[in-house]
Amino acid sequence: MNLGLHNYTALVTGSGQGIGQTIALRLAQERVKVAVNDINAERASETVAKINDAGGAAIEAVFDITDYRAVQQGLHKIESEYGGVDILVNNAAFLLGHHDFLETSPDDWDREIKVCFYGALNCCHVVAKGMVERKTGNIVSIASDAGRIGQAREVAYAASKSAVIGMTKSLAQELGRYNINVNAISPAGTDTPLRQSVEQKELERLGEEKYRERERKILRLYPLRRIGKPEDIANMVVFLASDAACNVTGQVISVNGGYAMPG
């Protein structure tokens, strides 16, 4: 299906691995030129190589999204290579793990909130200026069901994802008059390296038998009885970035196997 994204430029944050990498690869399949952002140069290079090997177009955009000046400099480099950014995907996230709130510290909260929320805020503030000038653009942020319905033992992470949802709705109201669509995607559990790392820690903490019982209980919460895959998220990003979704803005789209169904 041709969604009309040919020759657009996308900046995908945190696209060195996991959901972000899958989003970058999927956009490249639609002939989008992709700026692969990651704080880790090796991971960014790996994603760029995968895209280029598949016949797509991609460049590395290695910078820390929590540093506003670094985002400005990174955008300048992207613009010098590809021109203005048409699609911004705020994907980068950091989850410390599952810990009771009273066992965490301000340093723990700081890292999660800076990456998940301030990173998205910085990128929107820098990239949207060009979109406003061109009177076109599309911003898609990866939120989380943790930010919609809450999540015990992930308080700061859930709070930061809730902030992303508030940012999305507010920006949609401000930027709509410039023909800029702003939406969020809300996954539940998704099989990524980040989740696998957290789950490994839970396995070590609980032991094999209790962990497997926990796994069975978790799957019963999903009507489709499956944990999401990065491809599920990437497909929705491509749709929201396309003209097929031109009248969709300010929305939080659940891609979660039915885990949460907020009204």
| Active site (catalytic) residues | 157
Residue in the structure block whose two tokens are 């949609």: 172
CA dihedral 234, 247, 93, 20 (to 10 degrees): 20
CA angle (93 as vertex; 89, 98 as ends), nearest 5:
150
Per the CB < 8 A criterion, the answer to whether 116 and 216 are in contact is no
User: Looking at residue 150, what DSSP letter applies?
Assistant: -
Would you give the distance in Å from CA 225 to the centre of its chain?
A: 23
* 176: Cα separation from own chain's centroid: 21
Nearest-angstrom CA–CA distance, 140 and 136: 14
| Cβ-based neighbours of 256, under 8 Å, separated by 6 or more | 145, 186, 187, 188, 222, 228
* Torsion sign across C-alpha atoms 17, 18, 22, 27: negative
